[in-house]
Structure 1
Amino acid sequence: MSRNDILSFMGHLRTLPLKGNSKNTIEEQMKNRIRVYLYEVQAYISYIQRLEWDFAPEKPINHLIFPEDFPKKERLKAEDIKYIPDDVWEQILENLSELNAHYVPILLVLEASGFRISDTLLLKKNCLEKKSDGWWLIGDQRKVNYTNHKVPITDDIAAVIHTQVKLMDIESSDSNQRSLLFPNIDGRRKSLPISAKVFNDNLNKLTHRCQIRDSSGEIFHIKNHAFRHRYGVNMINNGMNILHLQKLMAHASPEMTLIYAQIHDNTLRGEWEKARAKGAVRLSPNGSIIEADLEDQAKENGLELEWIRHNMDSIRLDHGFCIKSPKLSCDFLEQTLEPPCIKNNCRSFHSDHTFLDYYKEQIIKIESDIEIYKKSNRLRSIELIQPKLKRYKDIASSLEAGDGIYGLSKERREYTNNERKEV
């Protein structure tokens, strides 16, 4: 097999007619097809080469299929994310008795853990761990090659899992050789994991049978991944730090996690705009509600309206605010070793005095590291870390000097000349 064979195969894929009623463009459907088929061919060739079968290609797989052969996926936007809203989830819970009992524990674990459906269906019976702070669910995250990934769960979900383990010990003790938490207990797929499609089909039968509708009055169509999106949105809405959520959801980069923050911030901004349009309210001395002007209230309380707007537009990180417009992509998302907004002097980065303790702690840690490097004569390490120490000291000094918001003005911080044309 040669490289030309792969190129010919990709050309052949483009000649085949498209099937189904996808909402994607023809070009995007074609990209998806090439991506899927190439992954399958790559996996197959890698497998037979690893086993050294006689008919395996002599050339290494990386000489046959190149990374650039896989069409890039369009970057997800906040509006593309479909998650299970609270009102739909409440309807699902109200009608839970109508769902096949075999699928109920899967549904509850899926919603409570943020695991992908494929990883949930492959959980083992020993997936629970009890620590001093409570129960943790343990499972592999295959998409990003994370093994034994842990997330905290409630006592109620732990009890559901314990019950499921006992049930499997009774109903599939002989056939469940892989010790799966959710195996098929009968049929031709007995002892194999439950199919994600079968699970999803049962959920959508439930929504139609029980008339589970969204806020617009339409029957809600459930996608399995929407439960993972629900988990991410709920964590952000409840105040979880975005970097902690990235780790909790095993995202390889902050890019996906930031989309959940954008959903939250878009909602928050919309509510603020509605309140602004209607006018603010306040309480009179006797407790009755009276109309008031938001700007006047801000001045009376020693606040700047610009500060309020700033916080409505921002995503709060450990080290400051990201004020990047949701309409624009971040240039530094792939850089995670050091806060990229600081390292690259990002114009969308702001900080204020509420972050002063963070910088002081970091300065102490860096200075401690430098002392260790000096003792071991690691001069190059000192040379590399010194610029970071200087940046952090400069920011800390600036924060100690006043109590404002530090960074570029709104007009300069958000858009370059070219970006202004785009938005």
Structure 2
Amino acid sequence: MNTDTIKYIPDEVWEQILDNLPQLNPIYVPILLVLEASGFRISDTLLLKKDCLDLRKDGWWLVGDIRKVNYKDHKVPITEEIAAVIKAQITLVEKYSNDSNPEGFLFPNPTGKRKGLPITQTVFNDNINILAHRYNITDLSGEIFRIKNHAFRHRYGVKMINNGMNILHLQKLMAHASPEMTLVYAQKKDNTLRTEWAKAVNNGAVRLSLNGSVIDANLEDQAKENGLELEWIRHNMDSIRLDHGFCIKSPKLSCDFLDQTLEPPCIKNNCRSFHVDQTFLNYYKEQIAKIESDIEIYKKTNSIRSIELIQPKLQRYKDIAASLEGGNGIQGLSKERREYKVDERNEVHFHDQ
């Protein structure tokens, strides 16, 4: 498998799937949502048990066996919303299928010869593709998107990499035996040369204000305000450099926006730890050109909603690119707003003990 052959579900297709989710047989809806949110293989998802939820101090986790690599009780973090979906499924199963489901499967067949046994991969996939054909779920070229079960797992990997997750962290979440397997999701150019980074570190750098406007930034000041030393950032620049900028967040703190998918979350949420310099200018120019090209395709297919969804992202990227070209930057939040929040400050203090 390589980056050219990954068949994953892109955002524009995922949006169409969500729009038509009410038309899908409700038996398959929670399976689809868990697949997309967890990165589990379809085989492992369909064999999840009713005791697959684990609530910790930091939130909900999904627990299941990964049979391909023989990992028992593999855990991945999930959102409150996905946990609620799973809890509703547990309630439904216990109400209608408990007697015929002695092994406690989360997704048992409710009727038929396979009653109480897990729903099969083929049946699930057939129903998803019936939905795609019946409700005209298409790719950017206007062709019906053929959905394969493993595409949900690929979507999870691509989504996490594009949102800035460290390769080794993603390797652990996806239960890959080696980082080489995870690297296929890193669909981005190697743009981390130290000399270029060092020259541009305080030259024409930008960040986002609370209201999303683009203003000047100084990486050294920003590092101090986020509780980091600039030398630490220089030493670890490969791990904090994303497609679209630098994450200047303390490694002791988790990202508040990591589970968001439709746009780089640091841009969408005007994150105070987000920093962009001129080494990223070509990236934004390429993205602008791609988005504008996508919009032309959307116009031809009369995909009005897709255009509405993508226009704000286009404007944000144009603002950042214009500011970088003009030597301006992103300053954004006042010093008080950029300091740790109370719970973050307590968390850092706890880790330092």
Q: What's the TM-score bracket when you normalise by the shorter of the two chains?
A: 0.5 to 0.7
Match of 1:211 among 120, 131, 136: 136
Q: Quick one: which amino acid aligns to residue 79 of structure 1?
A: D
Query: Structure 1 CA distance, aligned partners of 2:46 and 2:9?
Result: 19
Map of 2:95 onto structure 1: 170
Query: Structure 2 CA distance, aligned partners of 1:267 and 1:217?
Result: 33
Query: Structure 1 CA distance, aligned partners of 2:26 and 2:163?
Result: 30
- Residue 112, structure 1, aligned to residue 49, structure 2: no
1:267 positional shift: 12
Match of 1:228 among 137, 153, 169: 153
Match of 1:257 among 182, 194, 203: 182
Alignment of 1:235-314 (within 5 A): 235-261=160-186, 263-265=187-189
Q: Deviations along 1:362-390, whole A, 9 cap, x unmatched? A: xxxxxxxxxxxxxxxxxxxxxxxxxxxxx
- Which SS does the other structure have where 2:189 is aligned? helix
Query: Structure 1 CA distance, aligned partners of 2:83 and 2:171?
Result: 23
Query: Structure 2 CA distance, aligned partners of 1:116 and 1:266?
Result: 29
Alignment of 1:362-377 (within 5 A): none
Q: Quick one: which amino acid aligns to residue 18 of structure 2?
A: L
1:91 positional shift: 0.2
Q: Deviations along 1:314-340, whole A, 9 cap, x unmatched? A: xx9x96649xxxxxxxxxxxxxxxxxx
- Residue 78, structure 1, aligned to residue 3, structure 2: yes
- Which SS does the other structure have where 2:188 is aligned? helix
1:265 positional shift: 3.4
- Residue 94, structure 1, aligned to residue 19, structure 2: yes
RMSD across aligned positions (CA): 2.9
Aligned residues with identical type, % of pairs: 66
**Max radius of gyration: which structure?**
1
1:145 positional shift: 0.5
Q: Deviations along 1:97-151, whole A, 9 cap, x unmatched? A: 1100000000000000000000000000010000000000000000010000000
Query: Structure 2 CA distance, aligned partners of 1:86 and 1:234?
Result: 9
8 A Cα contact 1:246 1:254, kept in partner: yes
Map of 1:419 onto structure 2: none
8 A Cα contact 1:233 1:264, kept in partner: no
Query: Structure 1 CA distance, aligned partners of 2:179 and 2:237?
Result: 15
Q: Quick one: which amino acid aligns to residue 30 of structure 2?
A: P
- Which SS does the other structure have where 1:93 is aligned? helix
Query: Structure 1 CA distance, aligned partners of 2:67 and 2:36?
Result: 18
Q: Deviations along 1:196-241, whole A, 9 cap, x unmatched? A: 0100000000000000000111100000000000000110111110
8 A Cα contact 1:99 1:206, kept in partner: yes
Map of 1:20 onto structure 2: none
- Equivalent residues, number: 206
Match of 2:67 among 137, 142, 149: 142
Query: Structure 2 CA distance, aligned partners of 1:266 and 1:188?
Result: 53
Q: Quick one: which amino acid aligns to residue 154 of structure 2?
A: H
Map of 1:197 onto structure 2: 122
1:185 positional shift: 1.1
Alignment of 1:268-417 (within 5 A): 321=238
1:264 positional shift: 3.4
Q: Quick one: which amino acid aligns to residue 265 of structure 1?
A: K
Query: Structure 2 CA distance, aligned partners of 1:137 and 1:91?
Result: 26
Cα pair distance change 1:79/1:169, threshold 3 Å: same
Map of 2:28 onto structure 1: 103
8 A Cα contact 1:78 1:259, kept in partner: yes
Which runs of 5 or more structure 2 residues have no equivalent in the other structure? 193-205, 207-217, 220-232, 240-247, 252-353
Query: Structure 1 CA distance, aligned partners of 2:96 and 2:188?
Result: 43
Query: Structure 2 CA distance, aligned partners of 1:264 and 1:131?
Result: 34
- Residue 133, structure 1, aligned to residue 133, structure 2: no
Q: Which has the higher contact order (CA 8 A, sep 6+)?
A: 2
Cα pair distance change 1:85/1:114, threshold 3 Å: same
Runs of 4+ in 1 over 2 A off after TM superposition: 264-268, 318-322
8 A Cα contact 1:135 1:153, kept in partner: yes
- Which SS does the other structure have where 1:169 is aligned? helix
8 A Cα contact 1:236 1:264, kept in partner: no
- Which SS does the other structure have where 2:77 is aligned? strand
